[in-house]
Chain A
Amino acid sequence: MSAITLRVNGKPIALDVDPSTPLLWVLRDHLGMTGTKYGCGIAECGACTVHVNGEAVRSCQLPIEYVAGAEVVTIEGLSENGDHVLQKLWVEMNVPQCGYCQTGILMATAAMLAHVKKPTDKDIDTYITNICRCGTYPRVRAAIHRATDTPGT
C-alpha cells in the first residue's frame, strides 16, 4: 500500500489505506469526520454526499484511489462556523427532524446552487434525490426557494 494524497476541506491529507476503501469510511473512520453519514452504502440515499472537485458525490461508492489528488469538501467544511446561508435557513425554518439525512441534503443542495442559481421545482427534484425517512421534503424545498428567492409551487 502506498500513500494516497488528497485535500479535505482545504487541508492536505496523506493516507495509507486499502485503495478500495470508500471515501465515506475514510472520512468517518480514518479522519474522524462523522458529519458525512452512512445510510445505505449503495449510492441510494445520499446521506454520504460530499463535494469532490465541486460536484456532489455519494462517497459510499467512491473508492479512495479514485479521489487521489482531488479536492474534497464535507459538511464540516461547508462553512467556517456553520453559517452557510443554507445552514442558517435550515435552522430557522425547522427543516430537520431526526437530522440524519440533512448533512447529505445540505451538501447536495449547495452543489446544486453552484450550477443553478435560481432552481425551479423541477431542478430541485432532479438534483436532490436524497432519502429522508422523516419526510422533511416539503421543508427542504421551501428552504431552497427561500435561499434562492425563487417561487415554489
Chain B
Amino acid sequence: MEQVKINRRTFLVTATAFAGGMSLSLAAPAARAASISGEPWLSNAGGVEFSPWIAIAPDDTVIIRVATPEIGNGTVTQTPMNVTEELACDWSKVRVEFASPRRDYLENQVYSKAGWMPFFAGHATDSDRMKIALQIGASARERLKAAAAHQWNVQVADIEARNSVLTHVPTGRKLRYGEVAAKAATIQLKAEPTLKPQSEWTFLGKASPAKLNLPEIVRGSAVYGLDVRLPGMVYAALLQSPVQGGRLKSHDPGAVLKMPGVRAVVVVDPSKTKGIPASDKANYKLYYGLAETAVQSAVAVIADHYWQAKKALDALPVVWEPGPGADWKSSEQIYDAAMAVLDKPATKVLHTAGDVNAVTDPPTLDLRYLTPYCDSAPLEPLNGTAVVTPDKVEVWHPAQDPQQAWWVAVDETGLAPDKVYFHQTYVGGAFGRRVLANDVRMVVAVAKEYPGVPVHVIWSREEMTRQGRYRTLIATRFQAHLDGQGMPQVWKAQACLTGPIMVAASFADSPYVVGGAIPNVQIGTSDLPMHILTGAYRGPWYNSFVFMVETFIDECALTAKADPLAYRLKLLANWDPAWSKCLQVAADKAGWGKPLPRGQGQGIAVAAWPTAGLRQTGTIICAVATVEVSPDGVLKVKSIDVAFDCGRVANRDAVAAQLEGGAIHSLNMSLNEEITVRNGAVVEGNFDQYPMLRMGDIPPRITIHFDALSDHDRFGIVGEAPIGPIGPAVGNAIFQATGKRMRTTPFRKHDLTWT
C-alpha cells in the first residue's frame, strides 16, 4: 500500500469515460449535513470518478452512488455513512445519488460484481454490503493519500486523512481532498487497504444522523414514482382481468373515446412480451422469468389527466374470460381444500431427524393452523412512467430492485439493453410488493401501445389490492408426542403451500428442530396450486411460519402445564444462547409472570430472520405482548416489549425505527389482514375492506430493548425480523386472557368474548 504507481491506462479510461467530470462544478453549495436531491436519479453532480461508486469534486463534494433503493429503511443514509467511516471525509460534503443498473450491465457489472445483489432492497444494509461500502471508502482514502504523497514527495505513511483534509504529519502541510482528487483518481493501489477494526470507528455506531432524504420528504419535494412529471406526459388508468390468469374477451372503446381528455384505449396482451435479445441473455438471470412477473391481460385508458382516464375506464364496457380460477367460489372453499391436502401425507420432505414412527401412540397434539393471503399494501399505489420509441425506452420507476426492474423493461420491449434507460425514484413503501417488477413490465407494456409519449400508468388502490402478488396462503398440520416431562419427543409437521416458496424460514430450520431438542422430526410440504399470484411480503414465509410454530410451542407448553417462557428456555438450552437471552430480556422488561387481572394476559414468541437454523446470524428477536380483552370481546394490546440480537448496531435510532415499524406491521398483519376470494376474484379493494391500524389503535407502549445485543460483529439486518414474533405473542396473550386459541389470522375475525 505504501508504494503506488500511476497507471496511465487507468488514467485514460477514467478521463474518457467521464470526460468533463473534472471541470464540472457543483450546482449546490454543500449544506451542513450530507444531502440527496428530491430527484436522486439525476446525475449531474460532476466530480472525478474514483470508481462507479464514488466521485470527488474539486470543492471536496463526495458523490456516493447507492445501488439499493430507498424504501424507507434508510439505505441512502446508511450506505454513505459506511463509506464515510473509512473515507474520513466531512459528512456534510457527501451527496448521494442512485447507481444505474444500465451502467452496471454495460460496464461488465461494475456494481453487481461487488457482492450479493446490490440493487435488491431487501437486506439493504447487511454486513456484506457494509464491508463493500467500507472498502470503497478505504480505497478512495488511500488513493487520496497516495496522490498527496506524490505531490509532496513524501511517504504515504506520514499522511493522515481526516475530515476531508490530508495532513503531512511531520510538517503540518495540508491539502483538501478536492485538491488532489483528479490525481488520486488516476492512481491504482497495488493492494486493497485493510479495513480498520471496528474499535477504531469514529462515526458508525456513534452517530445517529437524521436520514438524508427527510428534508425532501417533509417539504413534499421527494419525487416518488407517482410524482414523476415529464413534458407531454399522459396518464393511464389500468384494469386487469379481475380473475388472475383470465383474458380480455371484448370491450367497447367507442363508448369512452369521446369523453373529455381521452386519447386512447389500449389492450395489454401477454403474448406481446418480446423477450431479452438472445445474445444478451446470459449476463443477467434474476427472477424475471417467473409467472408472477409476467404481464396480465389488461385494458388501459390513456388521457390528458388521470381523473379523465379513471372516469373513462370506469365507464368502459369490458367483458372478461375469467378462466379456471373462477371455479374457486369462496375463500372457505380454498381453506377447506388446503386442509384436505393436509389429510394426506406430505409430497415433499424438507427435513427429518430420528424416527417419527418411533412412538406408536396417537399424538398428544394434532393441530392445524392457517394464514391467509395478504397484500403488502405499501401506501404509494403501484405506478410507473415510460416512454417507448422504436430505438429507445426510458423508464422512471419506484422499484424495489432496480436491476430486476431494468432487466424486465428490456425483456418487455425486446430492445438491446443499451437502449433501455432506467431512473430510480423514491419508493412509497414496498415490503416485497415491488420486487418482482411485474409492475414495471405492465408500465412498459402499456407505454408500448402508445409510443413516443411519456405514459404515466397508475393502479388505483382497488386495482392494486385486487391484483397483488400476495403473501402465500399456508395451512399447516402439526402432530406432536409429548414425553413424561411434557417435552416433545416427536414432531410431524406438514405445510400446504398455495404458491412457490424459496425457503421454509423458521419452519424447516427452526432451532427447536435443528438444535436437536426434539429428537424425532419430519417436516414436509404439499402443494395446492392456485391461480392467485403470490410474491414477497415482509419476511416472506417467515411471517406465517413463526405464527404457526410459536403458537404451537405455546400449546405444547400449556399441555405440559409448563410456563411458556420456561418451556422455550428448556427447548433452546443447547442452542445459540442469544435466543435465551432475548427471551429473558423481553420477559424481564415486560414483567413476565406477574399475576394479572381476569381478561388480561401475556404472551411470548421468539424467532430469527433471515435464518433461524444457524447460530449467530441475522436478527434473533423475542416479543412479549400484554393484552386486555373485555368480556364482550374487544381486544386492546396494552404493550409490546421487544428484545433482539443483531450482533451490533451501526445506527441505533434507525434500528429502533425499523423494529417499531415492523412490530406495528406484524400487529396489523395478525389482527387485520386477509385477502379473500369470490368466484376467483379478490374481494377487498381498499382500506375500508382491508383495514389498517391507526394512531389510536397502536399499543400505548412499544419498547425496543437493546439489552440483549451480544456484541457479535455481524450487524444483522433488522427490518423484517419483527414481522414474525409479534403476532403469535399477541395470540398467545389472547389465550391467557380468554382461553381462546388463535390458530388462524386475522384475529379480528375471531369471537373473543368470554365470561
A residues near B, CB below 8 A?
Answer: 18, 20-22, 25, 28-30, 32-42, 44-45, 47, 74-76, 82, 86-87, 90-92, 94-103, 106, 121, 124-126, 128-141, 153
Chain A residue at minimal CB-CB distance from B692: A131
Contacts A90-B218, A99-B217: A37 and B226 contacting too (C-beta < 8 A)? yes
Q: Which residues of B contact A28 (CB under 8 A)?
A: 227, 306
B377 touches A133 (CB 8 A): yes
| CB-defined A-B contacts under 8 Å, sample of 19 | A25-B307, A29-B305, A37-B224, A37-B379, A38-B381, A39-B461, A45-B687, A47-B379, A76-B221, A94-B654, A96-B214, A96-B217, A98-B378, A98-B426, A99-B426, A100-B429, A129-B694, A133-B665, A153-B701
Which chain B residue lies CB-closest to A126? Answer: B696
Within B369-417, which residues are at the interface with A (CB < 8 Å)? 377-381
A121 to B701, CA, bound (A): 12
CB distance from A152 to the nearest CB of B (A): 9
Q: Report if A29-B307 is in contact (Cβ < 8 Å); known contacts: A44-B686, A131-B694.
A: yes
Interface residue B698 (Cβ < 8 Å from any Cβ of A): yes
- Contact of B660 with A34 in the complex, beta carbons under 8 Å: no
Q: Is the CB of B380 within 8 A of A39?
A: yes
Are the C-beta atoms of B661 and A37 separated by less than 8 Å?
no
| Interchain CA distance A44-B229 in the complex, whole Å | 26
Q: Which of B654-671 contact A (CB under 8 A)?
A: 654, 657-658, 660-665, 668
The total of interchain contacts (Cβ-Cβ below 8 angstroms) comes to 184
Quick one: closest A residue to B229, CB to CB?
A: A32
B213 at the interface (CB under 8 A from A): yes
B503 located at the interface, meaning its Cβ lies under 8 Å from any Cβ of chain A in the complex? no
Contact indicator A98/B461 (Cβ below 8 Å): no
- For B380, the closest partner residue in chain A by CB is A100
B223, A34: Cβ atoms closer than 8 Å: yes
Determine whether the beta carbon of B72 is less than 8 Å from that of A87: no
Q: Which of B210, B668, B700 meets A91, CB within 8 Å?
A: B210
Measured between beta carbons, the chain B residues less than 8 angstroms from A32 are 229
Report the separation of the CA atoms of residues A41 and B368 in the bound assembly, to the nearest whole angstrom.
39
How many Å lie between the Cα of A132 and that of B458 in the bound state?
Answer: 20
The reply to whether B665 and A82 contact each other, CB–CB distance below 8 Å, is no
Task: Please state if A87 and B218 are interface contacts (CB–CB under 8 Å).
Answer: yes
Complex CA distance for A125 and B694, rounded to whole angstroms: 8
- Check B106 for interface membership: any CB of A closer than 8 A: no
CA distance A25 to B688 in the complex (A): 21
Other 10 A-B pairs with CB < 8 A, given A94-B210, A135-B665: A20-B311, A21-B307, A25-B306, A29-B235, A39-B381, A44-B688, A45-B687, A95-B214, A96-B72, A97-B429
Q: Is the CB of B663 within 8 A of A98?
A: no
A139-B657 contact in complex given A45-B379, A82-B215, A100-B429, C-beta closer than 8 Å: yes
Scan residues 634-686 of chain B and give those whose CB is less than 8 A from a CB of chain A: 653-654, 657-658, 660-665, 668, 686
Which of the listed residues B215, B218, B427 has the most CB atoms from chain A within 10 Å of its own CB?
B218
Residues B339-379 near A (CB distance < 8 A): 377-379
Query: Of all chain A residues, which has the CB nearest B222?
Result: A99
Measured between beta carbons, the chain B residues less than 8 angstroms from A42 are 461, 686-688
A-contact 0/1 string along B430-444, CB 8 Å cutoff: 110000000000000
Residues of B within 8 A of A91 (CB): 210, 214-215, 218
Complex contact A141–B695 (CB within 8 A): yes
| Chain A residues whose C-beta falls within 8 Å of the C-beta of B658 in the assembled complex | 97
B461:A133 contact, CB within 8 angstroms: no
Using known A-B contacts A75-B220, A97-B73, A98-B379, determine if residue A38 contacts B653 with beta carbons closer than 8 Å. no
- Establish whether residues B218 and A131, one from each chain, have CB atoms under 8 Å apart when the complex forms: no
Knowing A18-B260, A98-B427, A133-B429, say if A138 contacts B660 (CB, 8 Å). yes
When C-beta atoms are compared, the residue in chain B nearest to A45 turns out to be B687
Q: How far is the CA of A41 from the CA of B306 in the complex (A)?
A: 12
CA distance A44 to B429 in the complex (A): 17
Write out the residue numbers on chain A whose beta carbons fall within 8 Å of the beta carbon of B214. Answer: 90-91, 94-96, 99
In the complex, chain B residues 269-291 whose Cβ is within 8 Å of any chain A Cβ: none
Contact of A25 with B663 in the complex, beta carbons under 8 Å: no
> In the complex, which residues of chain B have a beta carbon less than 8 angstroms from the beta carbon of A39?
379-381, 461
B687 touches A131 (CB 8 A): yes
Inter-subunit contact B687/A137 (CB<8 Å)? no
CA distance A33 to B215 in the complex (A): 17
Point out the residue from B307, B460, B668, B696 that lies within 8 Å of A129, measured CB to CB: B696
- Check A98/B698 contact, CB under 8 A, given A25-B307, A92-B210: no
Pick from A21, A47, A130: contact of B694, CB below 8 A: A130
Q: Which residue of A lies closest to B699 (CB)?
A: A138
Query: Chain A residues with Cβ under 8 A from B657's Cβ?
Result: 94, 97, 136, 139
Shortest beta-carbon distance from B235 to chain A in Å: 7
Judge if B71 is at the interface, Cβ distance under 8 Å.
yes
A98 adjacent to B694 (CB under 8 Å): no
Question: Is B702 in the interface zone, CB < 8 Å from A?
Answer: yes
In the assembled complex, how far is the CB of residue B675 from the closest CB belonging to chain A, in whole angstroms?
15
Most buried by B among A32, A94, A134, A137: A134
- Among B436-477, those with CB < 8 Å from A are 458, 460-461
Closest-CB distance, B139 to chain A (whole angstroms)? 30
The CA-CA distance from A145 to B739 in the complex, in Å, is: 38
Given the known interface contacts A34-B227, A98-B71, the answer about A40 and B220 at a Cβ–Cβ threshold of 8 Å is: no
Least distance between A147 CB and chain B CB atoms (Å):
13
Contacts of B702 in A (CB 8 A): 138
Kindly report which residue of chain A lies nearest to residue B661, judged by CB atoms.
Answer: A135
Closest B residue by C-beta to A132? B379
Q: Give the 4 A-B CB pairs with smallest separation, nearest first.
A: A35-B220, A100-B428, A135-B664, A98-B72
A94 touches B71 (CB 8 A): no
Instruction: List B residues 553-609 near A (Cβ within 8 Å).
Output: none
* Residue B297 at the chain A interface, CB threshold 8 Å: no
Asked whether B305 lies within 8 Å of A30 as measured between CB atoms, the reply is yes
